[in-house]
């Protein structure tokens, strides 16, 4: 007796013989579907007495460095049936179909021993309104001399069609083509814009995001995927998150926001405003940890995701500004970011909203002309000290700026472009021109005092504001400590402990970024 040992399947469904040798399917048809010429598609009404439809592979020899890749579309533009679970599950069996397991198990916050947070290999129509490629490295559990795979839909109505195309199961390609190509018998066929043996970006990618979500048009110019969310005005959704409209996630199915791939080699941080739940009855509160929002990055086109931050839902019951330094591993020529809510209780539950997302690269220094300070909201980063002309438009007055000649350029060696205050013993000050500020604006700068680690409060730098053309000055933020009586400085419901905007030698011996949300009383005029 002889047996054919399958260890590679590669199908574009143009050859029916290949298909029938590799796959067995129930209620599926090899036919054109949703702009693809040949596919394996599942359509039609459920037949009486049968509630499932599926496709199953032959038994295959699967080992280390095997991969599974396919294209999936669900509904092809038609909305899924409400209130039934029409998801398609991708499973494997190593005992001839006796028992089946998900190829990828869910790994969510709160679950023990998760190395990274991932969605399971269960596909919801909201993510597959058009053809999408999925690439999965095959886990150790799936290795055997006789592994089968199946795609299965347990429940469906007439409109819950789906189709598969371009199935590949076999040896992995180099770096999984970085998630930007098809793996074809071990070789990458790169997507447009990517090239080389392992599909690197052919030309440099954009390196910044500034998104204020003021209109639905143009959203997809900045974001690759907005699933389960839409731009809403302040009187809808969860209310004002930062300013004006926000991106509000409330729908059934997947809820995620994914950026395009960015060149983040010189990016430093990501910041945004987030709210989970809201004050109005229609915007209700998440009630478990998995219903919070995760911020993740991917260096391989979305195949795997590393964590930047978990936004725990109870921390965001009010709109909150957050700022995260990017981890070193997320700084590559091709990195994307996603905000993902792993679980929620369905359409109209556990809503969240995001606003004013900024990812900024050193390569794209910007300056907000003071003549037109209402341009990009709350954005105010790194005046271009390289260009003296720009300085003049920012600063009304500089006192003792520069260094004495013999020490010039010697301040804290690695400062290619900075404003240095080192002349004389008199006041050393930088005063901006008048700015129109609104609540929610942020102020950011990098600071270095003395370039030494010895603490001293005797030569602190104060950050102050004036509402009366410079006659009187007050700290942008007063300190707020336990037991402090100065209640005026402790605004907000949280009455959280807070440092004043006073910066002392020793705390700022290396260049340190300071980010301040402009308090309401400072923004008001
Ligand atoms: Ca095809
Ligand atoms: Ca906005
Ligand atoms: Ca819930």
How do residues 470-517 score in pLDDT, each as one tens digit? 889 999 988 876 655 544 445 444 445 667 899 988 888 777 778 777
Q: How far is the CA of 134 from the centre of ligand 3 (A)?
A: 28
- Number of domains into which the chain is organized: 2
Do 20 and 98 share a structural domain?
yes
Note the pLDDT of residue 458: 78
221 and 82 within one domain: no
449 falls within a domain: no
Ligand nearest to the CA of residue 38, numbered in listed order: 1
DSSP string, 384-439: -TT-HHHHHHHEEEEESBB--GGGTT-TTS--SS---B-SSSS--EEEEPP----T
State residue 35's pLDDT score.
96
CA of 176 to the centre of ligand 1 (A): 21
Query: Is 453 part of any domain?
Result: no
Same domain for 130 and 34 = yes
Domain end marker among 148, 172, 196: 172
* Whether residue 304 is found in the same domain as residue 161: no
312 and 225 belong to one structural domain = yes
CATH of the domain at 149: 2.60.120.260
379 within domain boundaries: no
pLDDT at 385: 43
Is 182 a domain residue?
no
201 found inside a domain? no
Task: Say how far apart CA 433 and CA 449 lie, in whole Å.
Answer: 23
Residue 219 contacts residue 212 (beta carbons within 8 Å): no
Q: Is residue 519 part of a domain?
A: no
Full 3-state SS string of 239-286: CCCCCCCEEEECCCCCCEEEECCECCCCEEEEEEEEEECCCCCCCCCC
CA of 166 to the centre of ligand 1 (A): 6
Last residue of a domain, one of 306, 335, 362: 362
158 and 227 together in one domain:
no
Please check whether residues 213 and 125 belong to one and the same domain.
no
Residue 349 CA to ligand 3 centre (angstroms): 6
Ligand nearest the Cα atom of residue 355: 2
In a domain, 129, yes or no: yes
Residues 148 and 243 in one domain: no
Pick the last residue of a domain from 346, 362, 378: 362
Q: Identify whether residues 155 and 222 lie together within a single domain.
A: no
Residues with CB under 5 A from ligand 2 (ion): 212-213, 244-245, 355
C-beta separation of 149 from 90 below 8 A: yes
Which ligand sits closest to the CA of 167?
Answer: 1
Question: What tokens does 60 get?
Answer: 């295959």
The pLDDT assigned to 474 comes to 92
Give the whole-angstrom CA distance, residue 324 versus residue 271. 6
CB neighbours of residue 120 within 10 Å? 16
For residue 240, the tally of other CB atoms under 10 A from its CB is 19
Whether 168 and 219 share a structural domain: no
Report yes or no: 247 and 354 within 8 Å, Cβ to Cβ: yes
Q: Which domain holds residue 302?
A: 209-362
Same domain, 232 and 136: no
Please indicate, yes or no, if residue 511 is contained in any of the structural domains: no
| Ligand sitting nearest the alpha carbon of 284 | 3
pLDDT tens for the chain, 525 residues: list them: 334 557 899 999 999 999 999 999 999 999 999 999 999 999 998 877 777 999 999 999 999 999 999 999 999 999 999 888 999 999 999 999 999 999 999 999 988 888 889 999 999 999 999 999 999 999 999 999 999 999 999 999 999 999 999 999 999 999 999 999 999 888 999 999 999 999 999 999 988 888 889 889 889 989 999 999 999 998 888 888 887 899 999 999 999 999 999 999 988 889 999 999 877 777 788 889 999 999 999 999 999 999 999 999 999 998 888 989 899 999 999 999 999 999 999 998 999 999 989 887 766 544 433 333 333 333 333 343 444 444 455 677 777 776 665 555 556 655 545 777 877 777 888 888 777 776 656 787 878 888 777 777 778 899 999 998 888 999 998 887 665 554 444 544 444 566 789 998 888 877 777 877 777 788 765
Distance 354 CA to ligand 2 centre (A): 8
Mark whether 162 and 91 lie in a shared domain. Answer: yes
């Amino acid at each position: 007796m002889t047996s054919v040992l399958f260890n590679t399947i590669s199908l574009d469904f143009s050859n029916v013989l290949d298909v029938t040798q590799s796959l067995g399917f129930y209620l599926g048809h090899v036919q054109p579907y949703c702009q693809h010429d040949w596919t394996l598609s599942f359509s039609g009404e459920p037949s009486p007495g049968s509630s499932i439809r599926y496709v199953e592979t032959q038994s295959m020899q699967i080992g280390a460095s095997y991969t599974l890749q396919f294209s999936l579309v669900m509904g092809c533009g038609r909305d899924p049936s409400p209130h039934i679970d029409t998801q398609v599950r991708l499973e494997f069996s190593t005992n001839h179909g006796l028992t089946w397991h998900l190829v990828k198990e869910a790994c969510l916050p709160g679950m023990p021993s998760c190395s990274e947070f991932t969605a399971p290999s269960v596909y919801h129509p909201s993510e597959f309104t058009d053809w999408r490629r999925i690439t999965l490295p095959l886990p150790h559990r799936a290795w055997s001399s006789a592994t089968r795979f199946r795609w299965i839909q347990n429940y469906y109505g007439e409109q819950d069609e789906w189709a598969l195309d371009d199935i590949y199961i076999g040896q992995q390609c180099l770096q999984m083509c970085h998630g930007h190509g098809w793996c074809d018998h071990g070789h990458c066929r790169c997507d447009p814009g990517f090239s080389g043996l392992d599909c690197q970006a052919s030309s440099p990618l954009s390196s910044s995001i500034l998104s204020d979500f003021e209109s639905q048009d143009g959203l997809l110019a900045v974001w690759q995927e907005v699933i389960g969310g839409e731009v809403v005005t302040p009187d809808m959704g969860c209310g004002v998150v930062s300013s004006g409209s926000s991106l509000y996630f409330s729908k059934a199915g997947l809820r995620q926001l994914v950026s395009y791939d960015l060149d983040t080699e010189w990016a430093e941080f990501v910041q945004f405003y987030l709210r989970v739940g809201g004050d109005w009855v229609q915007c209700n509160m998440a009630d478990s940890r998995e219903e919070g929002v995760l911020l993740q990055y991917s260096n391989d086109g979305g195949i795997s995701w590393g964590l930047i931050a978990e936004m725990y839902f109870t921390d965001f019951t009010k709109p909150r500004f957050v700022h995260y330094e990017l981890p070193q591993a997320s700084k590559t020529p091709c990195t994307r970011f996603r905000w993902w809510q792993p679980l929620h209780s369905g359409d109209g539950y556990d809503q969240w909203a995001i606003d004013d997302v900024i990812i900024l690269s050193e390569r794209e220094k910007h300056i907000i002309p003071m003549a037109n300070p209402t341009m990009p909201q709350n954005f105010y980063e790194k005046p271009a000290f390289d260009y003296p002309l720009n300085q003049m438009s920012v600063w009304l007055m500089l006192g003792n700026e520069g260094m004495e000649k013999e020490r010039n350029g010697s301040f804290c060696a690695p400062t290619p472009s900075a404003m240095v205050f080192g002349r004389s013993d008199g006041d050393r000050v930088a005063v901006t021109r008048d700015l129109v500020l609104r609540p929610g604006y942020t102020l950011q700068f990098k600071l270095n005092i003395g370039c030494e680690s010895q603490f001293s409060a005797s030569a602190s730098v104060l950050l102050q504001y004036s509402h009366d053309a410079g006659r009187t000055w007050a700290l942008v933020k007063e300190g707020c400590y336990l037991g402090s009586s100065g209640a005026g400085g402790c605004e907000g419901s949280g009455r959280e402990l807070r440092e004043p905007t006073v910066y002392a030698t020793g705390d700022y011996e290396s260049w340190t970024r300071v980010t301040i949300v402009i308090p309401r009383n400072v923004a008001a005029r």
